[in-house]
Amino acid sequence: MLAGVSDIAIHIPKYYLPHEELAKARGVPKEKFHTGLGNRNMAIIPNWEDAVTMGANAAVQLLERNNINPDEVRQLVVSTESGVDHSKPVASFVQGLLNIGTRCRVYEIKHACYGGTAGLIDSIEWISRHNNSEPKGIVIMTDIAKYGFGTLGEPTQGAGALALLVEAKPRLFSLDTMLNGIYSKDVHDFWRPTGHRVPIVDGKYSINCYLTALEGAVSHFRENSGIKEGELLDNLDYLIYHMPFTNMARKAHRHLVEIENKGALPERIEEIFEESFERMVVPSLRGVQEVGNIYTGSVYMGLASLLESEREKVEKKKVGLFSYGSGCGAEFFQCEIKSGISSIVDAIGMNEQLENRKKLTFEQYVQFYSKSDQEILYHPEELTGYKDKFTRFVFTGFQGHKRQYA
């Protein structure tokens, strides 16, 4: 019996800035962001939320709708590059907020955006060794992708969290992690030195590193799974890429079509690309178009988008996933979606959260992102009506150096 994922939950911040507003303020044509990057809106997180609250807000949904007693959770992993402390893991704060018991392995993982997949694979492999009992693992991917004001990365910003429930007898998909294709290399494409609030990025180089990693991971996946060159697309029904911005999925898919069809005429490559992109990749794009980059959770927001857009059509279908994290680490893997997933899809609520967001002006966005953690913006009356089924926890400030949540 292979372990895997039984449920998926998402938390999306309640504010957003349209790219049209950002383009106006930065003096660039909106087509650069809409057509060039493929993005429409970016999620903006108020400073009374952080990686802890977003992660807990996603994970509490899993506990409640699956009637899980917090004491049943045996492993709680939080993957993030937006940690709030060099020593105390985000996972410990989440453990406290969710009342998870003491017989649980609790830790934080970091490897840029790849950290989410590292946490998931680790949890699946750990739970797989326990298939006589029914232990539960929760993996959280939570991040604030914030770049410097006016930088080229600014229109790719976003924030959000995913939580996945890992079980020995999974209801959504199981995963044979031994087939996964891996690629890692020491590169300086995107990094955030200790103490920096925003990353430093070599943008064009980072895209090249991503595409090289895709090629390496796919080649390893082919070796492990016995799929010959040129046969990968025929073996899969959908593809989800790590998406720092929407058109990265286009670039990645075009590259995959090229390496899968070496020697084909350019017109033929174009034809295969357009047809397969529309059918296999487009159903996973809504999240990134509306939210932006969410680092560790990006691929899994793609999965939530795919599930909400295709619903029962994905049952028994094979999905290929490509996870990339700068630095760099990458993994290409495949899962087969189980039957009978309607109730799981009904509960995700990603579109519901997107529809209920509040639009910010450019000035409000600047105000939100100029404040430090010590200067909480809200007045208590602003939180009236803030709480709902997707949002339970907020950051309320410091007591000494200790972060406080309610």
Q: How far is the CB of 207 from ligand HMG (least distance, A)?
A: 5
DSSP state of 60: H
Euclidean distance between CA atoms 345 and 325, whole angstroms: 27
Q: How many residues bind ligand HMG (CB under 6 A)?
A: 28
Q: Binding ligand HMG by CB under 6 A: which of 48, 93, 277, 295? A: 295
* Token pair for 191: 């990094």
Q: How far is the CB of 298 from ligand HMG (least distance, A)?
A: 7
Kindly state whether residue 160 participates in binding ligand HMG, applying the rule CB under 6 A.
Answer: no
Kindly state whether residue 273 participates in binding ligand HMG, applying the rule CB under 6 A.
Answer: no
Kindly state whether residue 326 participates in binding ligand HMG, applying the rule CB under 6 A.
Answer: yes
Kindly state whether residue 185 participates in binding ligand HMG, applying the rule CB under 6 A.
Answer: no
Kindly state whether residue 112 participates in binding ligand HMG, applying the rule CB under 6 A.
Answer: yes
Q: Show Cβ contacts of residue 90 under 8 Å, excluding neighbours closer than 6 positions.
A: 51, 52, 55, 78, 80, 83, 84, 108, 140, 142
Euclidean distance between CA atoms 377 and 382, whole angstroms: 10
Catalytic residue among 111, 242, 253, 255: 242
Q: How far is the CB of 151 from ligand HMG (least distance, A)?
A: 8
Which CB sits closer to ligand HMG, 242 or 338? 242
Which CB sits closer to ligand HMG, 207 or 282? 207
Euclidean distance between CA atoms 152 and 138, whole angstroms: 35
Q: Which helix (H) or strand (E) holds 6?
A: strand 4-11
Euclidean distance between CA atoms 251 and 266, whole angstroms: 15
Tell me the window of 93-101, 125-133, 179-187, 244-252 that interacts with ligand HMG (CB under 6 A): 244-252
Q: How far is the CB of 275 from ligand HMG (least distance, A)?
A: 19
Q: Is 113 a catalytic residue?
A: yes
Q: Is 20 a catalytic residue?
A: no
Among residues 369, 404, 387, the alpha carbon closest in space to that of 159 is found at 369
Q: Binding ligand HMG by CB under 6 A: which of 2, 23, 25, 36? A: 36
Angle between helices 115-128 and 298-310 (to 10 degrees): 80
Tell me the window of 59-67, 242-250, 278-286, 388-396 that interacts with ligand HMG (CB under 6 A): 242-250
Task: Say what the alpha-carbon torsion angle 386, 94, 377, 16 is, to the nearest 10 degrees.
Answer: -60
358 has which bridge partners?
15
162 has which bridge partners?
10, 141
Task: Say what the alpha-carbon torsion angle 121, 299, 341, 127 is, to the nearest 10 degrees.
Answer: 10
Among residues 33, 22, 4, 38, the alpha carbon closest in space to that of 285 is found at 38
Which CB sits closer to ligand HMG, 28 or 376? 28
Q: How far is the CB of 131 from ligand HMG (least distance, A)?
A: 33
- Burial status of residue 331 (CB atoms within 10 A of its CB: 0-12, 13-18, 19 or more): buried
Which CB sits closer to ligand HMG, 27 or 263? 27
Q: Binding ligand HMG by CB under 6 A: which of 24, 32, 105, 268? A: 32
Which CB sits closer to ligand HMG, 188 or 317? 188
Q: Which amino acid is at 65?
A: R
Which CB sits closer to ligand HMG, 121 or 345? 121
- Name the 3-class secondary structure at 259: helix
Euclidean distance between CA atoms 398 and 396, whole angstroms: 7
Q: How far is the CB of 315 from ligand HMG (least distance, A)?
A: 30
Euclidean distance between CA atoms 162 and 55, whole angstroms: 7
Q: Binding ligand HMG by CB under 6 A: which of 24, 35, 316, 406? A: 35
From residue 79 to residue 98, the character string flagging contacts with ligand HMG as x (rule: CB under 6 A) and all else as - is --x-----------------
The CB-nearest residue to ligand HMG is 36
Euclidean distance between CA atoms 164 and 160, whole angstroms: 14
Euclidean distance between CA atoms 87 and 73, whole angstroms: 23
**Using an 8 Å Cβ cutoff, are 293 and 244 in contact?**
yes
Q: Is 242 a catalytic residue?
A: yes
Kindly state whether residue 325 participates in binding ligand HMG, applying the rule CB under 6 A.
Answer: yes
Tell me the window of 61-69, 238-246, 270-278, 282-290 that interacts with ligand HMG (CB under 6 A): 238-246
From residue 197 to residue 236, the character string flagging contacts with ligand HMG as x (rule: CB under 6 A) and all else as - is ----x-xx-xx--x--------------------------
Residue pointed to by tokens 């709708």: 65
Q: Enumerate binding residues for ligand HMG (CB under 6 A).
A: 29, 31-32, 35-36, 81, 112-113, 152-153, 156, 189-190, 201, 203-204, 206-207, 210, 242, 244-245, 248, 293, 295, 324-326
Which residues belong to the active site?
81, 113, 242
